[in-house]
Amino acid sequence: MMDDGRVGDGAPGVGGGTVLIAGASELVTGDPQRGAGSLGIIDGGAIVVEHGRVAWVGPLADAPQADTRVDVGGRTLVPGFVDSHSHLVFAGDRAHEFTARMQGEAYDGGGIGVSVAATREASDDELRSLVAVRVAEMRESGTTTFEIKSGYGLTVEDEARSLRIAREFTDETTFLGAHVVAPELRESREAYLDLVTGPMLRACAPHARWIDVFCEPNSPHAFTGDESRRVLEAGRDAGLELRVHGNQLGPGPGVQLAVDLGAASVDHCTYLSDADVDALVGASDRTVATLLPGVEFSTRSPYPDARRLIDAGVSVALASDCNPGTCFTSSMSFMIALAVREMGMTVAEALSAATAGSAKSLRRNDIGTLVPGMRADVTVIDAPSHDHLAYRPGMALTRVLDLGIGRHSSE
């Protein structure tokens, strides 16, 4: 087998055969019952995959017979990264805005209008190929499951087509018509809310699993607590599950609203009161605090206090928020490095938040760990231990292990 850990022509994984993934220096199962520490690490651990699922994990010496063997050459195996927050459907970029911000200009959400204009101009094919490139970047850096939001169309048709295109790449699609008030309705917020909770929601709901809102009274472009509640309740009535952008730019009602409505996730959580933290602790079985440190990096803002959340008992996830304005990178390794260096998380906590934590925020129980029954979404780190994720920031160490799904064995 090729010693870079890639499977050449013809390894199975989903077909009838079983595949033994061997040669790992370290296998991170994500289940403390199965190995050492909170990550459940098995030194020299192996995985058997059958029908695209994990069939067995344990020490290589105990591994059952398999039809095919893949040797990963002393690398580390971890659960595939789960990026539970991204905005990949957009055209154009806003590099100039980033550059200006680095020279001292403030961010208030206003630049979103620039991406809205470019996205409306783009054809379906242009948008589709832009998303395809960004999805390929995610996979090349080790992400196996990802969510995609709309939110740069802000008309009935442009939001619906954004979601139709996103659905071609993932089932985890989120209607974010309430990203900002559409530019043409800036003077009539009520009319825009009527649109978002009426015709736009009806056109988008068939293509979305989730609804989200940019609940941010500190931005004149985003939505107040009452407006956000209206959006979320309408979405829930239309059968969508709830996510919230909250407490990004300053203290606000987003966290309390998310907890009140039983949202799966409240994302950003940069400015939290003690009451917000208490609410998240009380809701830790159903509402995850998703931290997006790439945004603080790219806007040169204070990072969320991850230690405070974890020590209090809040469920925490890490995601990229990949978007053209405030964080144009989807590298989950980078998010892990930031979480460790800037937010006081241990490497184990950060990796767990980027896998099991973000799976929980998507209410998925088939991804996020490598134990029998889970999807065989395996990411390889080109290093002898998972610590290298944060220890060697900026290095291209991670990629999805390609099990050649659907092809048959030649070995």
Q: Which residues bind Zn ion (CB under 5 A)?
A: 321
Q: How many CA atoms lie within 13 A of 133 on its CB side?
A: 9
In the complex, minimum distance from the CB of residue 75 to Zn ion, in angstroms, rounded to a whole number: 32
Q: Shortest gap between Cβ of 174 and Zn ion (angstroms)?
A: 9
Q: Which residue is nearest to Zn ion (CB)?
A: 321
Q: How far is the CB of 387 from Zn ion (least distance, A)?
A: 29
d(CA 291, CA 293) in angstroms, rounded, equals 6
Shortest distance in whole angstroms from residue 235 CB to Zn ion: 16
Closest distance between Zn ion and the C-beta of residue 167, in Å? Answer: 19
Packing angle of the helix pair 156-167, 124-140 (nearest 10 deg): 40
Return the number of the residue (116 or 374) whose C-beta is nearest Zn ion. 116
* Distances, alpha carbon 78 to alpha carbons 143, 179, 230, 336, 368, in Å: 11, 33, 40, 13, 9
Using the minimum distance from each CB to Zn ion, give the nearer residue, 305 or 321: 321
Helices (H) and strands (E) in the chain, counts: 15, 18
Closest CB to Zn ion among residues 296, 321: 321
Residue with smaller CB distance to Zn ion, 18 or 265 = 265
Locus of tokens 């806007």: 299
Q: CA 321 to CA 224: how far, in whole Å? A: 21
Q: Quick check: 91 and 126 in contact, CB under 8 A?
A: yes
Nearer CB in complex with Zn ion: 321/382 = 321
Cβ atoms 265, 290 nearer than 8 A: yes
Q: Write out the H or E segment, with its range, that includes residue 351.
A: helix 347-352
Residue number with CB closer to Zn ion (241 or 321): 321
Q: Give me the least distance between CB of 390 and Zn ion, in Å please.
A: 23
Nearer to Zn ion, 15 or 177 (CB): 177
Strands 26-28 vs 41-43: parallel, antiparallel or unpaired:
antiparallel
Taking alpha carbons only, the member of 308, 305, 303 closest to residue 281 is 308
In the complex, minimum distance from the CB of residue 338 to Zn ion, in angstroms, rounded to a whole number: 16
